[in-house]
Amino acid sequence: MDKWDNTAIGTRIKNLRKNKGYTQQELADIIGKSLRTLQKYETGEIEVSIAVVNQLAKELDTTPTFILGYDTEIEPIRTLADVMNYLFHIEQVEGLEFSIDVKRPPRNSEWTCALTFKGKNVNAELNQDMCLFLEDWGSQRDSLRTYDSTQSDYREWKERTLAYYSPTEVKQKETEDLSEEERRQKRIEYLNSIKPE
């Protein structure tokens, strides 16, 4: 978790522990760590693993994302344009590639649209993580929809997932402003690349 401020994380753990009325030794015992390890967490000397962050969050009645200092709040989504704008932002993430698949009548009985991430795309190193996340999300949503799990379970899963992926930084793709001639040349190269042999 090299992007996190270990000192700030330690301060949050310390404050949460004190709010719960635990001594350092008591909390160390609860999470199965030595007193010295907990002290190093609280001073920021050592990094706290995601597994321990999840355990601390549960014991200290908070969320993993709060301990890490990850802000889960986003601008309020007020319009459909806001949703579409988020999709435009996804398009700019380097390491993610997706296709937009549309099926509609009369060729199909249903009208469906999907963003498709190919998990084995070697040119998009984040696609595998996205596929794993979407698979897990689908399972969690189905479990909630069929009353196999609770809203609380679902919220906990979301928090753990966000905490797990929060250290994974992404970069924005460089936009390519091409001249008309460059665009034509790239179009020809593209068409030649998809011609059947």
CA–CA separation, 129 and 195 (whole Å):
31
| Count of alpha carbons within 13 angstroms of residue 146, beta-carbon side | 7
Compute CA distances 142 → 135, 148, 149, whole Å. 11, 8, 9
From first CA to last CA, the distance across the chain in angstroms is 47
Compute CA distances 86 → 76, 81, 89, 96, whole Å. 12, 9, 5, 14
Tens-digit pLDDT profile for residues 62-103 = 999 999 988 777 778 899 999 999 999 999 999 999 999 999
| Count of alpha carbons within 13 angstroms of residue 187, beta-carbon side | 7
Tens-digit pLDDT profile for residues 7-62 = 999 999 999 999 999 999 999 999 999 999 999 999 999 999 999 999 999 999 99
How is the chain split into domains, by residue range? 6-68, 74-197
Q: Under CATH, which architecture does the 6-68 domain have?
A: Orthogonal Bundle (1.10)
Q: What is the pLDDT of residue 197?
A: 66
